[in-house]
Structure 1
Amino acid sequence: MKKILFLSDALKMNGRSVDFAAYICKLSKSSLTGVFLQHEAHSQRAAAAIRDEIACNGITVNEERPLHELEQECRQYNARRFGTICENLGVRSEVIEIAERQAENILLECRYADLLLIDPSLAMGESAVVLPASFLHTVLSQSECPVMMIPERFDNVEEIIFAYDGSPSSVFAIKQFASLFPGLADRTVFVVTARGDKRISANEMQKMRNWLNTHYPSVTFYDIQGDSRIGLLEYVLGKDNIIMVMGAYGRSGWSAFFSASHADPLVKYISKALFISHL
């Protein structure tokens, strides 16, 4: 893995998120490309709200200065801050900005990247950029590289949780994560399985155990009874400093958790690192 993207708001970059992105880059000796979203030209966001966001960056805001000048200054400030954080942490970096057709252009960048990291403010709806309701779902379900949601709080990766339902996509996500992050091979691994409507055969379970045991020294399986979505939520809520790995966003299996009727609860309400990949 050599090229990692960091998706954030050009006016509201979170320094802690950049710290996490740099940590991931150092694990894989990768460079980091900051992909900063601008306000689209037709955005209806109130000028006063945008000025408030700019002021939160420590930039002097007054009514006499045109809004476009303030936005440009804020974008430049965050781009410099991003570069400084990366440089201080020993990570090579660059910045690109996307102003229009944002989902389309982000997906194009993903096609030629190894991993996309998403600032939690975009998932939580706290970004200064006005995004369509379907934006996050589109990026997660159509990205041609794996995606990781950055946690709100992070100290270190102590545990890895694999969501395994026997589907090809869940196995692919687990194998891809192990391949991309060999530096995490010494972490404790928990494999969360659900045996609701679709049972995993004993033969497949044993093959999964055997494969994991060749890559990780400590692997524990945990079987969820009943509603797999509720069980998965309850299981991860009590844990900190974890990365959760899941396959097939918006398609099948575990991805049913992310249906529109559930408002993407795992993405929006769990402040954990979440790695999503699909075939």
Structure 2
Amino acid sequence: MKMIFLAFNALNPDKGSSEFAFYLARLSRSKVYGIFLDGSQVDYNAMLENKESEIGNPSRNYNQTLVHYSKQEQIKTNINLFKESCISNEVCSDIYLDRALKLNDLITSSAFADLIVVDAALSLGSGSSGAPSENVKEILNRSACPVIISPLSFERIDELIFTYNGSESSLFAIKQFTYLFPEYFDKKLNVIQVNKSGVWPQKDLGKLREWLNNHYLDVNFLALEGNTEHELMSFLLRKKYVFIVMGAYSRNSISQFFNESTAEVLIKTVTQPIFIAHH
């Protein structure tokens, strides 16, 4: 892996996602590309109100011009702070473009990235819509590369958790993660499946075990009995210092391990990094 896209609001970059992207870059010796996305109308209105209070109440067009330049200056400041932070964290970095981009620009450019790192609550609209935000849902649905939902805070990774149900989607996510992060070969790996019997089906267990054993030193298989959302959430909420890997987020044309509601619950509730890949 060589290219990590770090996406955030150009006017309000998220510190947690930056820290995790820097960790991944050091781990994989990759370059972090800062993707500064066009900020919200709320930010614009707030800046306009501040300008009006500072200089009285001249024409609306004049104030809007001042605010436009103020926004550009703030974005330049944030870009410089990002560069300085990369240097202090000993991370090789670049700015994809030295201006704010639209969300569609990120999605189009994702075809040329190895992965995207983003905070679950990234908001570019008129207000926050929780986690995952509508902007993050769009990135998950349309990106042409894997996406990592960054944790709010990060200490270390002790264990990998791969979710698997026999579908091409879940296997694709496992393989993408493994190819991007061979550095995790010595981490404990739990491959999780939730089904009615609570027993791993033998159909492809042997082949999957053989493939994983060629990439990891400590591979374990665990089957959970019951409802996917409930059992998986219960299992993950007891875990710390794990990296979670799951299949496609929302593509109607393929079989998924998680339906959309389960993925959203996972993102809202679990404070560990989540790797999501499409097929």
The TM tier, using the shorter chain, reads: 0.7 to 0.9
CA deviation after TM superposition for structure 1 residue 26, in Å: 1.6
Sort the Cα spacing of 1:131 and 1:14 in 2 relative to 1 into closer, same or farther, 3 A.
closer
The corresponding residue for 1:47 is 45
> Which amino acid in structure 1 is aligned with residue 45 of structure 2?
A
Change (3 A) 1:218 1:62: farther
Q: 1:84 to 1:129 in 2, by over 3 A?
A: farther
Deviation for aligned residue 1:199 = 8.4
Distance in 2, Cα, partners of 1:3 & 1:197: 42
Q: What 5-or-longer segments of structure 1 have no aligned partner?
A: none
Structure 1 equivalent of residue 90 of structure 2: 90
Give the superposition deviation at 1:63.
Answer: 3.3
State the match for 2:171 in structure 1: 171
Q: Which amino acid aligns with 1:277?
A: A
Deviations 1:231-263 (A, max 9, x none): 11111112122110011211332230x23xx68
Q: Quote the sequence identity (%).
A: 32
CA contact (8 A) 2:2 2:29 kept: yes
* Whole-Å separation in 2 of the counterparts to 1:272 and 1:61: 43
**What corresponds to 2:234 in structure 1?**
234
- Post-superposition offset of 1:3: 1.0
Count of residue pairs brought into register by the alignment:
262
Q: Partner residue of 2:143?
A: 143
Alignment of 1:1-279 (within 5 A): 1-39=1-39, 43=41, 47-48=45-46, 63-64=54-55, 66-95=66-95, 96=97, 97-100=99-102, 102=103, 104-122=104-122, 130=127, 134-196=134-196, 201-251=201-251, 252-256=255-259, 258-259=260-261, 264-279=264-279
TM-score w.r.t. the length of structure 1 is: 0.83
Q: Secondary structure at the match of 1:36?
A: strand
State the 1:79 CA deviation.
Answer: 0.9
Q: Which runs of 5+ in 2 are unaligned?
A: 56-62
Q: Take 1:130 and 1:108, find their aligned partners in 2: how far apart are those partners?
A: 24
Deviation at 1:16, TM superposition (A): 3.4
Work out whether residues 246 and 277 of structure 2, in 8 Å CA contact, stay in contact via their aligned partners in 1: yes
| Aligned-pair CA distance for 1:147 | 0.7
25-34 vs 161-170, which deviates more?
25-34
Q: For the pair shown, which has the larger CA radius of gyration, 1 or 2?
A: 2
